Structure 1
Amino acid sequence: MGWARALKVPMTRPAIPAVVLCGVLACGTLASCEYSYDDGSAPASSTPSPVITEPTLPRDPSLSQTITGDALKSWAQDVLPDVNGLSFYSSFGLLSAGESRDEETTRLPGGTYAVTLACRGARSADFTVRNGSGVLVEVMLRCGTTRVKVLQLEKDAVLGMTITANSPADFAYRVSRI
């Protein structure tokens, strides 16, 4: 038993300062590591990058003005492009404030159609498309814009078109087979 006492190591205080020092050195070494590579792109510039937003085109101020005659006919042809002879009916005209116009298309065979509507003036125009007594499309269209609505006709039909202007407005529409 005497030899066991001779090998006994005296108790000392734990080496807390050494552990803390190792931790600080490890963190400092890891924090200074940086991974970089060359991806072939140019280095980042110090100028701020531009903000990208949804592109919008300014509205043509001349579209707030109504027109007549050949200018009206030309505008209608521009906003209602012909689709390779598949147009069945088109019309255009000028309405006074509060005026309403009722028109009918020619007989359309059953099928799928695109009805393109356009308005030119200071405010808006209301378009209503009917098949008999049933309303197929009802749209308040802001002037200066064009809208396309798709219709499915189960059988031959004559469509009724009603256009009402809230203020003086040019209108145009075309019914084309899809």
Structure 2
Amino acid sequence: MGWVGALKVPTMRLAIPAVVLCSVLACGTVASCEYTYDDGRAPVSSPPSPAITDPVLTRDPALGQTVAGDALKAWAQDALPDVNGLSFYSSFGLLSAGESRDEETTQLPAGKYSVTLACRGARSAEFTVRNGSEILVALMLRCGTTRVKVLQLETDAVLGITITANAPANFAYRMSRI
């Protein structure tokens, strides 16, 4: 009996891999089958996929050039349109490379304001808005773009604004009550 038991063990060890191999082959064959038939109807056509376009607007090449005089005033008005007469303060100008300008707003009553900042030139301009020593906005703005920030003034205040340009740039900003 010892000899027959010894024969069964090797037979069992060979039978298990054979069963597994046959199962894998059978599953692979069944999974790759597909049944199709022609019912006489035309195939369903899907609508064409919409073309994906880049949502970023191309930058106006003229915005890489600084302007002066009436052209500067016209650009500032286009970049910062008045918001139904709710504008409390606005300013615009031209900075040379490396120049920095400090300005102050008029007395602003307590409330919520939008500060719209714009830059025109080849590079960027840095805007810093302060209420006393507290920095309310610190922003490096790429020229050719406009940015809006919202601030809340708890009390009446005169805000200090510093604009710095690392290359010649036009700047414009507007304080509007929300």
TM-score (norm. length: structure 2): 0.75
Instruction: Return closer, same or farther for 1:33/1:130 CA change in 2, 3 Å cut-off.
Output: same
State how far apart, in whole Å, the 2-side matches of 1:168 and 1:116 are.
20
Instruction: Return closer, same or farther for 1:65/1:34 CA change in 2, 3 Å cut-off.
Output: same
Instruction: Return closer, same or farther for 1:50/1:130 CA change in 2, 3 Å cut-off.
Output: same
Q: CA deviation at 1:53?
A: 3.7
Segments of structure 2 that go 5 or more residues without pairing to the other structure are 1-33
State how far apart, in whole Å, the 2-side matches of 1:156 and 1:36 are.
79
The CA deviation string for residues 133-165 of structure 1, in whole angstroms up to 9 with x for no partner, is: 110000000000000000000010000000000
RMSD: 2.6
Give the aligned partner of residue 36 of structure 2: 32
Counting helix residues as a fraction of each chain, which structure ranks higher? Answer: 2
State how far apart, in whole Å, the 2-side matches of 1:35 and 1:151 are.
67
Q: CA deviation at 1:52?
A: 1.0
Segments of structure 1 that go 5 or more residues without pairing to the other structure are 1-29
The CA deviation string for residues 73-123 of structure 1, in whole angstroms up to 9 with x for no partner, is: 000000001011100000000000000000000000000000000000000
Instruction: Return closer, same or farther for 1:149/1:34 CA change in 2, 3 Å cut-off.
Output: farther
State how far apart, in whole Å, the 2-side matches of 1:37 and 1:151 are.
64
Instruction: Return closer, same or farther for 1:56/1:36 CA change in 2, 3 Å cut-off.
Output: farther
SS in 1 for 2:45: coil
Q: CA deviation at 1:127?
A: 0.1
Give 2:159's aligned amino acid. L
Q: CA deviation at 1:31?
A: 2.2
The CA deviation string for residues 24-67 of structure 1, in whole angstroms up to 9 with x for no partner, is: xxxxxx923689999xxx8347xx74541432221100000000
Give 1:94's aligned amino acid. L
Instruction: Return closer, same or farther for 1:37/1:134 CA change in 2, 3 Å cut-off.
Output: farther
Give the aligned partner of residue 74 of structure 2: 74
TM-score (norm. length: structure 1): 0.75
Give the aligned partner of residue 127 of structure 2: 127
Give the aligned partner of residue 45 of structure 2: 43
State how far apart, in whole Å, the 1-side matches of 2:41 and 2:111 are.
60
Aligned residues between the structures: 146
Larger Rg: 1
Instruction: Return closer, same or farther for 1:112/1:32 CA change in 2, 3 Å cut-off.
Output: same
Sequence identity of aligned pairs in percent? 74
Give the aligned partner of residue 117 of structure 1: 117
